[in-house]
A and B are shown apart, each in its own frame.
Chain A
Amino acid sequence: GAGVSQSPRYKVAKRGQDVALRCDPISGHVSLFWYQQALGQGPEFLTYFQNEAQLDKSGLPSDRFFAERPEGSVSTLKIQRTQQEDSAVYLCASSLETVLSGNTIYFGEGSWLTVV
Chain B
Amino acid sequence: AQRVTQPEKLLSVFKGAPVELKCNYSYSGSPELFWYVQYSRQRLQLLLRHISRESIKGFTADLNKGETSFHLKKPFAQEEDSAMYYCALNTNAGKSTFGDGTTLTVKP
Report which A residues bind B (CB closer than 8 A): 3-4, 31, 33, 35, 40-45, 48, 56, 58-59, 91, 98-100, 102, 104-110
For the complex, give the distance between the alpha carbons of A59 and B97 in Å. 11
B46 in contact (CB, < 8 A): yes
Given contacts A43-B44, A91-B44, contact A48 B94 (CB under 8 A): yes
B17 in contact (CB, < 8 A): no
Shortest CB-to-CB span from B10 to chain A, Å, is 11
Q: Judging by beta carbons under 8 Å apart, are B93 and A56 in contact?
A: yes
Q: Judging by beta carbons under 8 Å apart, are A100 and B94 in contact?
A: yes
Question: CB-CB < 8 A to A56: which residues of B?
Answer: 93-95
Shortest CB-to-CB span from B39 to chain A, Å, is 12
B interface bracket (residues with beta carbon within 8 Å of A): 20 to 34
Q: Judging by beta carbons under 8 Å apart, are B43 and A100 in contact?
A: no
Question: CB-CB < 8 A to B69: which residues of A?
Answer: none
B residues 94-108 in Cβ contact with A at 8 Å: 94-101
Question: CB-CB < 8 A to A43: which residues of B?
Answer: 44, 86, 96, 98
Q: Judging by beta carbons under 8 Å apart, are A110 and B43 in contact?
A: yes
B51 in contact (CB, < 8 A): yes
- Between B32, B46, B94, the greatest number of chain A beta carbons within 10 A of the residue's beta carbon is seen for B94
Q: Judging by beta carbons under 8 Å apart, are B96 and A45 in contact?
A: yes
Q: Judging by beta carbons under 8 Å apart, are B100 and A40 in contact?
A: yes
Question: CB-CB < 8 A to A58: which residues of B?
Answer: 95
Shortest CB-to-CB span from B93 to chain A, Å, is 6
Chosen A-B contacts, 8 in total, with CB atoms closer than 8 Å, are A35-B98, A43-B86, A48-B94, A91-B44, A102-B49, A105-B46, A109-B43, A110-B43
B92 in contact (CB, < 8 A): yes
B55 in contact (CB, < 8 A): no
Question: CB-CB < 8 A to B32: which residues of A?
Answer: 102
